[in-house]
Structure 1
Amino acid sequence: MKIVPLLALTALLAGCATVAPEGPRFDRSLTAKAQSDRIKYVILHYTVSDLPRSINTLAYGTQVSAHYLLTDTEQPFFYTLVDEPRQSNHAGLSSWKIYNQLNSASIGIEIVNPGFKETAQGRVYAPFSQAQIDQLILLLKDIVKRHNIPMGNILGHNDIAPQRKQDPGPAFPWKQLADAGLIPWPEPSRVAARLPGLQEQLPDVFWFQRKLAEIGYAVPQNGELDQATRNVISVFQTKYRPSLFDGTPDAETAAMMDVLTTPVPLIPAAPASAPQPAADSPPPVPAESD
């Protein structure tokens, strides 16, 4: 008589054992319109070391990393150290326009380059090889296309941290990136047209601070030529006029800032005129009435 309850209990336990816990259920047929790509910036760095030490720091270290490491070998190539959807620790304390802490919104590219050395003649910056720049431009074009990066959002580490960083330095050829259509550049003829007036009357420091902030830099807005303001002006000059980047607010720097922040005026197209008959063409024949 006790066999039946025992069989029932056994069946109940067996049933519980065979029911697997279910995971969350998803319906992926809907996509929200209010969304954007996480990646909005590309930040360029130099490693200030050779390739083995760069790999050791960026791949095996626990403090900093980058999405890509561009080698300085005879035929440069990229190590992919962090997948693009994931955050790498390359920007640190940083700011550009409305964004702070740019690690979460950017791709970091480290370029193997020794940086600079101090000499009796002053600081000397190491050049980047043309092969490196060629590879970099190819990658940047690919990233821009895939993530729809705006033209003004490829930056140097010094752009987003002007008080503490100087990479990729004045030897980095930003003009080549401009020629490749990757960054904006102050058009030389417009700069030349603005120079005479600015040489005659240089704007005050607050004007420079406003222009730098309009471009995207984090800069004081106090009207004083303090060290923090000089540092930001120097970073700007490093990119657009690397022949002289002492942080002095001069007329040429002002002209370049003004051109970068002033859109080119649109010239309205001339109205299309009705075609005129050729001078030697016969007069039109009047139509006969019915």
Structure 2
Amino acid sequence: MVKNITSLALVACLTLPLIGCVTTTSQVANTENYIIDSQTYQATGKSERIKSIILHYTVSDNARSINTLTKGQVSAHYLILDHDDNKIYNLVPESERAWHAGNGGFAGRTILNDTSIGIEIVNSGIKHEYRNALKNGNLDYHPYEHFVDFDELQIKKVAQLVKDLAARYSISPKNIIGHADMAPSRKIDPGAKFPWHRLYTEYGIGAWYDDADKLSFMDTNAFAAATIPQIKQALRDYGYQLNDSDEWDKASRNVVYAFQLHFRPRNPTGTVDLETYAILKALNKKYADTNDFY
């Protein structure tokens, strides 16, 4: 009798496909607990998800920086305060996405929040007396002396943190950048006073040009012959995003200013002069084989 009931149930399932059929518990096979095996087979086509480190300043004091980065709509993986409490604060786990970069791009990548570690450093940015210096139109960009110095303890903390991150994630020296490098029309942080050259020479952090290469490219004739599209392409070759117009419009000059804040901070003007051109050529020579895209 049981056999007949089962047969009828199967017939009903087959003849009423649009209605469906409820399967009883007795008809369900036992579910196995399968093992995740991450050892037997390993793929070679892979790389680290984290591709860049982006450095910022907070334009605020400690208390406001903490409040903004923990309770607002922006965040960062790490926060470095401006007093010596022997700590570097981890606000967002490295495995998660912090909201620090915003629109922009570098080295062929956009949406950098997905592939970067963000580090915020407490610093006021522009000195209070120069906050409105650009509004009267006499200056296009803030010069070196308008920026606020970083504390020695902050630089040591940045060096320790960035060196560790770069090693763990195999981050290219070129991809240790400032917020201005990836968003030059919106941001100027970490500013002209951030010691990129010192981090490179003392701690081996980030990218920097060789003086001998720079000197070799200080060629007035070559610079005079270089066209605007050629110089813009050289900036793109290094990693910067900019348009392909045949003029130095404001958006393009913003890129030049960001480049100078990083590599020629004592005289950031937004104008490509011979020294800026030579530094750019020297950087591209040194890092020509750097693979940024995988």
**TM-score of the superposition, structure 2-length normalised?**
0.78
Q: Which residue of 2 aligns with 1:166?
A: 188
Q: Give the Cα–Cα distance (whole angstroms) in 2 for the partners of residues 262 and 71 of structure 1.
A: 37
Provide the residue aligned with 1:54 in structure 2. Answer: 65
Gaps of 5+ in 2: 1-24, 134-141, 289-294
Q: Name the count of aligned residue pairs.
A: 248
Give the direction of change, closer, same or farther, for the CA distance of 1:248–1:198 in structure 2 (3 Å limit).
farther
Corresponding residue for 1:99?
109
Answer whether contact 1:45 1:111 (CA < 8 A) is retained.
yes
Structure 2 distance, partners of 1:94, 1:178, is 25
SS of the residue corresponding to residue 251 of structure 2 reads helix
C-alpha deviation, 1:75, in angstroms? 4.6
1:248 aligns with 2:271: yes
Of the structure 1 ranges 176-185 and 80-89, higher mean CA displacement relative to structure 2 is found in 176-185
Aligned match for 1:33, one of 14, 38, 44: 44
Q: Is the 8 A contact 1:76 1:131 kept in 2?
A: no
Please, which of 137, 145, 157 is the counterpart of residue 159 of structure 2?
Answer: 137
Distance in 2 between residues matched to 1:264 and 1:51, nearest whole Å:
37
8 Å contact 1:89–1:103 — kept in the other structure? yes
Q: Provide the rounded CA distance (Å) in 1 between the counterparts of 2:66 and 2:30.
A: 45
Aligned mates of 2:267, 2:274 — CA distance in 1: 13
Q: Could you tell me which residue of structure 2 aligns to residue 177 of structure 1? A: 199
Q: How does 1:88-237 map to 2 (within 5 A)?
A: 88-119=98-129, 122=133, 124-179=146-201, 180-198=203-221, 201=224, 203-237=226-260
Q: Cα deviations across residues 98-124 of structure 1 (Å, max 9, x unaligned)?
A: 211000000000001111135369552
Paired with 2:225 and 2:126, the residues of 1 have a C-alpha distance of 33
Q: 1:87 aligns with which of 88, 97, 103?
A: 97
Q: Indicate how the Cα distance of structure 1 residues 52 and 208 shifts in structure 2: closer, same or farther if over 3 A, else same.
A: same
When Rg is computed on C-alpha atoms for both structures, the one with the higher figure is 1
8 Å contact kept, 2:61–2:123: yes
Larger RCO (alpha carbons 8 Å, 6+ apart): 2
Contact map agreement 2:223 2:277 (CA 8 A) in 1 = no
Change (3 A) 1:113 1:76: farther
Alpha-carbon RMSD = 2.4
Percent sequence identity over aligned pairs: 38
Change in 2 beyond 3 A, CA 1:174/1:76: farther
Pairwise CA distance, 1:205: 1.6
Name the TM-score, length of structure 1 as normaliser. 0.79
Please state how far the C-alpha of 1:203 moved relative to its aligned partner.
Answer: 2.2
Q: Which residue of 2 aligns with 1:68?
A: 78
